[in-house]
A and B are shown apart, each in its own frame.
Chain A
Amino acid sequence: MTLSDNPIGASYLYLMEPEVRFLEAAVEHLIPTDDLGPGARDAGVVVYIDRQLAGSWGSHGRNYRGGPWLEGTPQQGYQSRFTPQEVYRIAIREIDQHCKAAFDRPFAQLARDVQLRLLEQMEKDEVALPSLSSKFFFDLLWRNTDEGYFSDPLYGGNRGMVGWKLLGFPGLPTSEYRDLITSSEPYRAEPVSVLDVQTGKVPVDAQGFPRHVMIKRDREN
């Protein structure tokens, strides 16, 4: 099985194969596939995380990196000397080592209920890792999963705008909002993304707004 042998045929800039496998399994628990629609894995969240790690944010390009590095209080925020790139690389390796020691196989190959329990333990900082806090990693992973599922598809996640369809968020506004501001009628439109505009899939008018295609619905869900 190749790395791009996955539902979305993705390729990766930063992540290595065991990391991709780990993340595909983990993010699918955070936002699962269900009758409301695709979960985080099929929405491309792992690709999103990969692109973010490979970009400026992954090396904290605009964040303060000077030492000394002290632990700090929860109110003092991110104080790790590791960049997000390093956090993902170190944490996934150490969680997989933990899983191999306890269950003889890496996280991605564990039964779903065992994976779920491990994630719950990580969230409570109950999985002891040698180099960093499992809760610190979990919180970062959850933040990035949420971002990946709901940000513009430009960034590799939210494929098919599944996150926006889940909410009923139409993406880019239209100039008709000027008068719809007072409306009590639910407004339902097919979402339009920045990606759609950049690729020319959706044209914009002279003012720079797309035209929305309305969704017809028989009944309230």
Chain B
Amino acid sequence: MPATKLKSVDVVVVGSGVVGSIMSMELANAGMSVVCLERGKQFDISTDFNASNVYDELKFDRHSDIFQNLARDTLTFRNNGGQTALPMREMGAFKPGEMVGGTSAHWGANARRFLPHDFAMRSQIEQRYGKSFIPEDCNLQDWGLEWDEVEPYYDQFENIFGVGGKAGNLGGEIQEGGNPHEGPRSREYPNPPTRQTYQGEMFAKAARSLGYVPFQGPTAAMTQDYRNLYRVQMLQCIHGGFCSSHVCSQGAKANPLTAVLPALMRQKTFELRPLCNVLRINKDSTGKKATGVTYIDARGNEIEQPASIVILGAYCFSNTRLLLLSGIGTPYDPRTGKGVVGRNYAYQQGGSVEIFFDDREFNPFIGGGMVNTSIDEFNGDVIDRGPLGFIGGAYFDNSARGAAPIKGKPVPPGTPRWGSEWKKAVARNYRRTLNIAMHGTCLSYKQNYLDLDPTYKDAFGQPLLRMTFDWHQNELRMMEYMTERCTEIGRALGGSRIGGKSKGTHFSIVGYQSTHNVGGAVMGDDPSTSVVNKYLQSWDVSNLFVVGGSAFPQQPANGPTETIGMLACWAADAIKENYVRSPGSLV
């Protein structure tokens, strides 16, 4: 049966997460007709998430139906091209979302900007250490963006998501109490910083004793009642935990549901269509222009939605896969190094150091709202990596996440995995452990990429995305160094024993690590190494914009969401201010 063809709209947006919601809002607000397609369900946060269900770790963290339904589609994974990729059959290392609001509906609210260095890593590393310092198989590249260009859009996003923090650098002037290593800000955060926990105070004291400058990391959970740029009200966070993996029962965590949709749904030219799975982007006979998208609606009908502008605003995996399924851009070939779609897939390094105390007791269940005390001395280009022999860095933080009882039970090294001794250790240490997490960069490599799987298909009969990914020596060396520094802070804290976690030599899809998957449709100033230009516009199809974590050429240490939000504001502005006036390539 042929697809039902609907009336054309100005803009069709794929995905209703950070990118989809903000871009829809900005473009509808400018008078454009916008249809947003979302594969997930719609929830009403004022009634659906409350004390009768929301504080439930099993329901939301383990067996969640707000994460991607893998029965319908998943991805396949292998560590290297010599292996056969197999499906990720159950949710593991990461949790892409599936609901109106997207993955960020269940994010942890960590709202850090990247450092200016992060946007120009290749050129700055080459300048400081020479070309040969970069591993030969590393696809490190600049973003094609300048700090001064993007700073206003970070500011805009922070005033939508109500970010709380203390500026460390206001227009070049270093500020007491903030992060002295951050990029220059045009003004203060819209909300005050979080208050410091007892553990945070201990961490800060130990960090200071080693010469570091601790600060309260920025958060997108409200530090006071707040009305945002879209005139939407959000309530102050009460630190009840159940933050990451969960939807906040208080609406205190900024995400598309709390910060954007209440205003967006009032836009007369906007329409949201949940439970719609986009199959492909359609092109005209020249292949240079997108004519809209084809999707399967909630009732199973195939629908064609024509549009003047197509915005892919979905998760990193979906953006890349839809380009591959639609035959837009040349797929990356790891043998020749040519092609761009699927190139530069990267993840996030990290680990933690745990300090066990005999003589102190904490309240690890009080937290959430991304209350954290951090240091940035090992992030970006703050340290001289010349003598250390690696590229990249990490930030460290002590974060009060609200230790949930299934996943939040650290035990000292050497504890048996189960049985009576394990039970004793769990009882002993749940309230006596201080955690310092390391959040590290992950560079892009020729061997790490995304393409279509030759064997496995989704419920619609389309090939699954295939991920080929493993850690490289640079990241392992970096984490070895970071773990040594972090352990020094651990020792300065006192404590009776020190343990910790690392990701191991080979990336494993088993066990949650982080939902920081990036690349595959990266931005840049060279069509031979990027899928989109600096305005997130496809080099091949000028009325297609591909916006999200998919655009990151590699993963900096700081989490991706803030920069994804910034890119959404940046791209929306480019469309409103420039593209609409003169459709065609913006560069």
Contact = CB atoms under 8 A, between A and B. Distances in A.
Contacts of B79: 73, 75
A9 interface: no
B267 interface: no
A181 B239 contact: yes
16 contacts: A34-B423, A60-B71, A64-B71, A64-B456, A65-B89, A66-B456, A75-B510, A79-B89, A147-B58, A151-B58, A152-B57, A167-B426, A169-B405, A172-B55, A180-B363, A182-B195
Contact of B89 (A64, A142, A150): A64
A181 B51 contact: no
Interface string B191-207: 00011111000000000
Given A66-B457, A70-B84, A173-B241, A60 B431 contact: no
B277 interface: no
- Counting contact residues on chain B (CB < 8 A from A), the size range is 35 or more
Given A77-B510, A197-B52, 14 more contacts: A60-B90, A62-B63, A64-B456, A75-B506, A75-B507, A77-B88, A77-B509, A123-B417, A152-B58, A155-B58, A173-B238, A177-B239, A181-B194, A194-B51
Contacts of A167: 405, 409, 426-427, 430-431
A180 B69 CA distance: 38
Contacts of B430: 167-169
Interface in A158-200: 163-164, 166-175, 177-178, 180-184, 186-187, 194, 197-198
A187 B400 CA distance: 15
B90 A63 contact: yes
B576 interface: no
Contacts of B50: 208
Interface string B20-52: 000000000000000000000000000000111
A65 B69 CA distance: 12
Interface stretch (B258-266, B365-373, B517-525): B365-373
Interface in B408-448: 409, 417-420, 422-424, 426-427, 430-431
Given A180-B366, A210-B51, A76 B86 contact: yes
A29 interface: yes
Interface string B58-90: 110011010001110110011100011011111
Question: Top 5 nearest A-B pairs by Cβ distance?
Answer: A173-B240, A184-B198, A151-B58, A75-B508, A150-B405
A63 B250 CA distance: 30
Contacts of A56: 63
A36 B400 CA distance: 27
Contacts of B502: none
A147 B250 CA distance: 26
A72 interface: yes
A146 B86 contact: no
Interface string B354-390: 0000000111011100010000000000000000000
B74 A187 contact: no
B236 interface: yes
Contacts of A154: 56
B250 to A, nearest CB: 7
B473 interface: no
A172 B92 contact: no
Interface string B228-261: 0000000011111110000001100000000000
Contacts of A147: 58, 62, 406
Contacts of A175: 238
A220 B361 CA distance: 10
A62 B418 CA distance: 28
A218 to B, nearest CB: 15
A181 B371 contact: yes
B123 interface: no
B446 to A, nearest CB: 20
Nearest to B361: A186
Nearest to B508: A75
B240 A177 contact: yes
Interface of B: 50-53, 55-59, 62-63, 65, 69-71, 73-74, 77-79, 83-84, 86-90, 92, 194-198, 236-242, 249-250, 361-363, 365-367, 371, 400, 402-403, 405-406, 409, 417-420, 422-424, 426-427, 430-431, 455-457, 506-510
A210 B242 CA distance: 15
Nearest to B202: A184
B51 A169 contact: no
Contacts of A110: none
B508 A74 contact: yes
A62 B366 contact: no
A198 B509 contact: no
A187 to B, nearest CB: 5
A32 B424 CA distance: 10
A7 interface: no
A76 B77 contact: yes
Interface in A40-79: 56-57, 60-66, 68, 70, 72-79
Contact of B418 (A31, A168, A174): A31
Interface in A118-165: 123, 142, 145-147, 150-152, 154-155, 163-164
Contacts of A194: 51-53, 55-56
Interface string A5-46: 000000000000000000000000111101010000000000
Contacts of B58: 147, 151-152, 155
Nearest to B511: A77
B373 to A, nearest CB: 12
A125 B18 CA distance: 45
B198 A182 contact: yes
B565 to A, nearest CB: 26
A68 B62 CA distance: 26
Given A79-B86, A178-B239, A208 B51 contact: yes
A2 interface: no
A181 B197 contact: yes
A197 B249 CA distance: 14
Contacts of B237: 178
A48 to B, nearest CB: 9
Nearest to B62: A147
A183 B57 CA distance: 25
The winner among A30, A123, A178, A209 for most chain B CB atoms within 10 A is: A178
A214 interface: no
Contact of B427 (A36, A65, A75): A36
Nearest to B50: A208
Given A75-B508, A181-B197, A204-B51, A173 B366 contact: yes
A122 B196 CA distance: 46
A76 B89 CA distance: 9
Contacts of A145: 418
Given A65-B71, A208-B249, A168 B89 contact: no
A207 interface: yes
Nearest to A164: B405
A211 to B, nearest CB: 12
